[in-house]
Amino acid sequence: MVAAIRAAPSAATRAVSLLRTVQYAHPPNCPCHSNPGHHHHARPQVDRYAQHTGRRGFASPVDLSQQKEYAFEMAASSIRFGPGVTQEVGMDFKNMGAKRVCVVTDSTVRHLTATKQVEEALSREGIEFTIFDKVRVEPKDSSIKEAIDFAKPYNPDAFLAVGGGSVIDTAKLMNLYTEYPEADFLDFVNAPLGNGRPIDKKLKPLVAIPTTAGTGSETTGTAIFDLVAKKAKTGIAHRNLKPTLGIIDPLNTKTMPSAVKASSGLDVLCHSLESWTAIPYNQRVPRPTNPILRPAYQGANPISDIFSLSALRSTVKYLPRAVKDPEDFEAQSEMLLAATLAGVGFGNAGVHLCHGMSYPISGQNPGYKHAGYEVAHSIIPHGVSVAVSAPAVFRFTGPSNPERHLAAAEAFGVDISNVKCEDAGAVLADAIAAFLTDLGDQPKGLKDLGFTSEHIDALVEGTIPQARVLMLAPGLQTELEKEREQLRALFEDSMAY
Amino acid sequence: MVAAIRAAPSAATRAVSLLRTVQYAHPPNCPCHSNPGHHHHARPQVDRYAQHTGRRGFASPVDLSQQKEYAFEMAASSIRFGPGVTQEVGMDFKNMGAKRVCVVTDSTVRHLTATKQVEEALSREGIEFTIFDKVRVEPKDSSIKEAIDFAKPYNPDAFLAVGGGSVIDTAKLMNLYTEYPEADFLDFVNAPLGNGRPIDKKLKPLVAIPTTAGTGSETTGTAIFDLVAKKAKTGIAHRNLKPTLGIIDPLNTKTMPSAVKASSGLDVLCHSLESWTAIPYNQRVPRPTNPILRPAYQGANPISDIFSLSALRSTVKYLPRAVKDPEDFEAQSEMLLAATLAGVGFGNAGVHLCHGMSYPISGQNPGYKHAGYEVAHSIIPHGVSVAVSAPAVFRFTGPSNPERHLAAAEAFGVDISNVKCEDAGAVLADAIAAFLTDLGDQPKGLKDLGFTSEHIDALVEGTIPQARVLMLAPGLQTELEKEREQLRALFEDSMAY
């Protein structure tokens, strides 16, 4: 049987080869790139190991702000997955010696089984707790300050978040600011809106129990909110903000309405697509002068890639099933796991244009109310605001790395064997558009949300401050006027797909 | 272009489909399994979600010792990768507020550049440190106790391990026993040799800098040593033992001799193959009564799978290059990353027969001295002792999950399109044997190490106590006499390949 070995590579091997060609050690080898050093990204590609010469950088007076990054760091919360695991959380707090837990949730999740399970689990172990259930969905700085004001006098020795991304993000910031009681709120907020101060203390234990399959916040060091005075969505991002443990219990997402399943699943889709296509970590500038300054959103790297591509494939396979059949528990479970995997992926690589553009889209909503959301006010759910620009975004980013875009298109089931490299972005864009259409109940562009060309200036200006994610967008110019022009074109192209 | 979408799946998509068929949500669907419930493992397969009914287990008096596991937990050290990152370690300790660091290494690594870099990095930040360089390669309980006795009076507030698996494992136990100064050494040692006490305190920060590409110890909560009185290789394994941060610097493995590259790479190969083929987590018995009792070696799960398969593919691709060309820095770097990825995989899934059988193989060495190891005494390097049984092991485990064995064979480049399921184990065995032969300088079975059939009884008896890994071996009987018989057959089959 030895004769069979090392025969022509079969399907999986060829797939692995494809994955390898899009990694860092080699320049792109798309057939259309006869020059292997050719790269569409604005910043020139350098050899991964040419960085050696920079290793004396820390001791010698080299200007690191001009040097490219040479390392990446992967950090993730511990993850426990299983149907029913919510019940273990009381033992977890007991095991870590916590005696006084601040439970964080919102007024809806407060009454769901997940919260009841949590209360029972804590009570069973005799752990004192209080519940803060005033988290605002899509938090503002004011709602977060209210939450912090609740936590400070209670002085908990651990936090437990039960809910979606808004809840988990709010709990992270309650934990942060009770540990830094004297800090100004803007101190830790991402630059340029805030001061971007790194978190140099170890925070209290935070356990996160997601009740939606989308945010991935249970594994990341990121918290997002509206900074009202600046009219911008921004956040705080640092590895030390990440939960100690994410308890991923698929029984907790059974109650998600179908529309919420769809929009949160689209967030997963974009997390995986954006982190997979973000600029490589070793193209990022500057090289940090201290490892604590290395951003979590550091660009694509060999470990985030594994998570992002795996999450993308799961989402393509399971999201339509999860949305269409409320009884399909397998699909729901796989989507919850995919959300977490995507969280590890983008949590260590970052997102870029879909997310950067989504904040003004949802913030400047002309009055759209998404079907299936039973709220009194107009709403563009986060996942919808992210996905609506995806066809335009990946058509734009395609030339930066055609192989990665083709690999993503292939994950959607596209036969890429005869696709030309220069069509990679367009093919992926079409695949995404078809996926969104098949999913149903999705706006077919910004027009369907009520935006017209008159809104574009404001949308562009609302995107510009998202420097933290825009810096990871391949092909985006750094010169402000050129960036503005590119963003304008992207919003125009997002009007209809 | 939309017409091209959802056409016949191409290479990568088919590969993904293959990966999916071997996952948990579905029973094996190898064409030869017309009965989807058919499973060769001694323990019957159950539906993943039938576990729901067990969710009242924690509140009601159900006997959990008879219930199958329903959850898995994934934990890994933070990982920083990059050529030259060793120099950042002083800042890391400063950032975490450490003032007094115990550096752990061995007498060889003590004089390598890695240690010099570490000393400079700590000095640059004004951090006080002492160096313990008496780690024994292949540590014994006595050498570990000596290390602990060194650490206790120094009373460090953090540890830094620089070296291979022996160094990192020793540092983990120095950290553990300085935190539990009154504990008996056997308290935490794996049952049945020790008392298997869980680690319920948070240990001091431990940063691990590997100088070999093999062990993966920088990411795991496992420490292995010889328990001399019991004549057995055993260890201590708990998530809380894992390093805080693994600093993965490919400049540190440049000095590895070619023979060390080969044998440590074979350890990576077996970590990935064993964790990929270990019994699924939801087949493990008993379900733990407290999450702190959930073993790190919990069986294969959807997250460990991603790491294990990725590490396997990298090893097949890069190990031969790394061994044959000392100047191939790319291959060396990729192997170091693969070792870490495999560490995350087996650290959260476990290993089984190759590792279980390797301990008596190296411990009962009849006098073999591996080529390229410049030592005075006889030595079977760990990786060699692990890989020598691999063809026999995977021929044996093949029937437990033919799809996984075929996927592994495909990772070796075998064309599996016409392989019958019943040949899956044999095909993988042949692929491994050919890989080992091509690598060069490897024993072609136990005979080449000097073992004869007269040694088999002792080898079997030396394997039996490895309950922690044997419990993860698919197809191995739990009844002692049957297990003995199977192990005897495995050692016989390992005599020559």
Query: Which phi and psi angles does A128 have, rounded to 5°?
Result: -70, 135
- B234 secondary structure, DSSP code: E
Q: What is the pTM of this model?
A: 0.89
Q: Based on the number of CB atoms within 10 Å of its own CB, is A153 exposed (0-12), middle (13-18) or buried (19 or more)? A: exposed
> Cα angle at A455 between A452 and A457, to 5 degrees?
135
Please give the torsion angle defined by the CA atoms of residues A141, A144, A146 and A148, in that order, rounded to the nearest 10 degrees.
Answer: -130
Which of these three, A253, A277, A310, is where a domain ends? A253
Determine, yes or no, domain membership for A387.
yes
Do A446 and A311 sit in the same domain of this protein?
A: yes
Distance of alpha carbon B335 from alpha carbon B329, whole angstroms: 10
CB of B253 within 8 A of CB of B213?
yes
Distance of alpha carbon A41 from alpha carbon B486, whole angstroms: 58
pLDDT digits (tens, 9 = 90+) for A366-404: 999 999 988 888 999 999 999 999 999 999 999 999 999
CB of B359 within 8 A of CB of B233?
yes
Within 10 Å of residue B172's Cβ, how many Cβ atoms? Answer: 29
Do B277 and B179 sit in the same domain of this protein?
A: no
Read off the CATH number of the domain in which B233 is found. Answer: 3.40.50.1970
Do A244 and A264 sit in the same domain of this protein?
A: no
Consecutive H or E run containing A130: strand A128-132
Do A193 and A89 sit in the same domain of this protein?
A: yes
CB of A428 within 8 A of CB of A402?
no
Residues 6+ apart with CB under 8 A from B425: B394, B395, B396, B397, B398, B399, B402, B405
Do B200 and B296 sit in the same domain of this protein?
A: no
Distance of alpha carbon A216 from alpha carbon B349, whole angstroms: 23
Query: Which phi and psi angles does A18 have, rounded to 5°?
Result: -60, -45
**Chain B contact present for A3, CB below 8 A:** no
Q: Are strands B232-237 and B222-227 parallel, antiparallel or unpaired?
A: antiparallel
Task: Determine the residue type at B489.
Answer: A
pLDDT digits (tens, 9 = 90+) for B155-213: 999 999 999 999 999 999 999 999 999 999 999 998 888 999 999 999 999 999 999 99
Task: Please tell me which residue of chain A has the smallest CA distance to B120.
Answer: A59
Distance of alpha carbon A220 from alpha carbon A238, whole angstroms: 9
C-alpha separations of B345 from A9, A161, A478, B326, B464 in Å? 25, 28, 39, 27, 24
Determine, yes or no, domain membership for B19.
no
Determine, yes or no, domain membership for B18.
no
Distance of alpha carbon A451 from alpha carbon A469, whole angstroms: 23
Q: How confident is the model at residue A30 (pLDDT cuts 50, 70, 90)?
A: low
Residues 340-369 of A with CB under 8 A from B: 341
Nearest by CB to residue B2, choosing from A79, A202, A430, is: A430
**Chain A contact present for B419, CB below 8 A:** yes
Do B171 and B266 sit in the same domain of this protein?
A: no
Distance of alpha carbon B162 from alpha carbon A158, whole angstroms: 34
Which of these three, A189, A223, A253, is where a domain ends? A253
Q: What is the mean pLDDT of residues A18-28?
A: 44
Distance of alpha carbon A439 from alpha carbon A414, whole angstroms: 17
- Whether B83 and A51 lie within 8 Å, measured CB to CB: yes
C-alpha separations of A152 from A149, A180, B365 in Å? 6, 10, 62
Q: How many domains does chain A have?
A: 2
Greatest Cα pair distance in chain B:
73
Predicted pLDDT of residue B192: 84
Best of A1, A48, A201, A410 to disrupt the B interface (most B CBs within 10 Å) is A1
Predicted pLDDT of residue B137: 86
Q: What is the mean pLDDT of residues A110-129?
A: 97
- Scan for tokens 């031969």, then name that residue: B320
Read off the CATH number of the domain in which B400 is found. Answer: 1.20.1090.10
- B190 secondary structure, DSSP code: P
Domain that holds residue B340: 258-493
Which of these three, A195, A225, A253, is where a domain ends? A253
- Scan for tokens 């159950």, then name that residue: B46
Q: Which residues of chain A lie closer than 8 angstroms to B95, CB-CB?
A: 200, 290-292
**What whole-number percentage of chain A has pLDDT above 90?**
80
Residue B460 corresponds to which tokens in the numbers above?
């079997």
The answer, yes or no, to whether residue A9 has pLDDT greater than 60, is no
Determine, yes or no, domain membership for A415.
yes
C-alpha separations of B39 from B28, B177, B301 in Å? 8, 43, 17
Query: Which phi and psi angles does B88 have, rounded to 5°?
Result: -80, -10
- Scan for tokens 């170091």, then name that residue: B336
CB of B353 within 8 A of CB of B389?
yes
Predicted pLDDT of residue B375: 81
Predicted pLDDT of residue A192: 84
Secondary structure (H, E, C), B377-390: CCECCHHHHHHCCH
Predicted pLDDT of residue B30: 58
Distance of alpha carbon B79 from alpha carbon A67, whole angstroms: 22
Task: Determine the residue type at A488.
Answer: R
Consecutive H or E run containing B489: helix B480-493
The mean pLDDT of chain A is: 89
Determine, yes or no, domain membership for A4.
no
- C-alpha distance from A460 to closest chain B C-alpha (Å): 29
Do B229 and B301 sit in the same domain of this protein?
A: no
Predicted pLDDT of residue B64: 65
The answer, yes or no, to whether residue A57 has pLDDT greater than 90, is no
Do A279 and A148 sit in the same domain of this protein?
A: no
Going B281 to B283 to B286 to B290, the CA torsion angle's sign is positive
- Whether B414 and A6 lie within 8 Å, measured CB to CB: yes
Within 10 Å of residue A126's Cβ, how many Cβ atoms? Answer: 9
Determine, yes or no, domain membership for A41.
no
Task: Determine the residue type at B39.
Answer: H
Do B217 and B118 sit in the same domain of this protein?
A: yes
Short-list B53, B143, B147, CA closest to B102: B147
Nearest by CB to residue B51, choosing from A2, A6, A83, is: A83
CB of B380 within 8 A of CB of B361?
yes
Determine, yes or no, domain membership for B47.
no
Do A265 and A392 sit in the same domain of this protein?
A: yes
A34: three-class secondary structure by DSSP: coil
CB of B225 within 8 A of CB of B168?
no
Residues 221-260 of A with CB under 8 A from B: 239, 251
Residues 90-129 of B with CB under 8 A from A: 91-92, 95-96, 120-121, 124
CB of A208 within 8 A of CB of A246?
yes
Residues 435-494 of B with CB under 8 A from A: none
CB of A356 within 8 A of CB of A396?
no
Do B98 and B167 sit in the same domain of this protein?
A: yes
Predicted pLDDT of residue B18: 42
**Chain A contact present for B10, CB below 8 A:** yes
pLDDT digits (tens, 9 = 90+) for B326-366: 999 999 999 999 999 999 999 999 999 999 999 999 989 99
Residues 6+ apart with CB under 8 A from B491: B357, B389, B392, B446, B456, B459, B460
Short-list B234, B275, B233, B274, CA closest to B393: B274
Short-list A110, A214, A215, CA closest to A162: A110
Residue ranges of chain B with per-residue pLDDT less than 70: 1-65
Task: Determine the residue type at A453.
Answer: S
Distance of alpha carbon B22 from alpha carbon B473, whole angstroms: 17
The answer, yes or no, to whether residue A239 has pLDDT greater than 70, is yes
Distance of alpha carbon B187 from alpha carbon B143, whole angstroms: 17
Do B342 and B415 sit in the same domain of this protein?
A: yes
**DSSP track, A192-230:** TTS------S----EEEEESSSS--GGG-SEEEEEEGGG
Consecutive H or E run containing A254: none
- Whether A2 and B302 lie within 8 Å, measured CB to CB: no
Q: Based on the number of CB atoms within 10 Å of its own CB, is A229 exposed (0-12), middle (13-18) or buried (19 or more)? A: exposed
Determine, yes or no, domain membership for B428.
yes
Distance of alpha carbon A285 from alpha carbon A298, whole angstroms: 10
Q: Based on the number of CB atoms within 10 Å of its own CB, is A150 exposed (0-12), middle (13-18) or buried (19 or more)? A: middle
pLDDT digits (tens, 9 = 90+) for A412-471: 999 999 999 999 999 999 999 999 999 999 999 999 999 999 999 999 999 998 888 999
Q: Which residues of chain B lie closer than 8 angstroms to A414, CB-CB?
A: 4-7, 10
Short-list B79, B16, B9, CA closest to B309: B16
Nearest by CB to residue A83, choosing from B52, B74, B426, is: B52
pLDDT digits (tens, 9 = 90+) for A255-297: 889 999 999 999 999 999 999 999 999 999 999 999 999 999 9
Q: Are strands B100-104 and B158-163 parallel, antiparallel or unpaired?
A: parallel
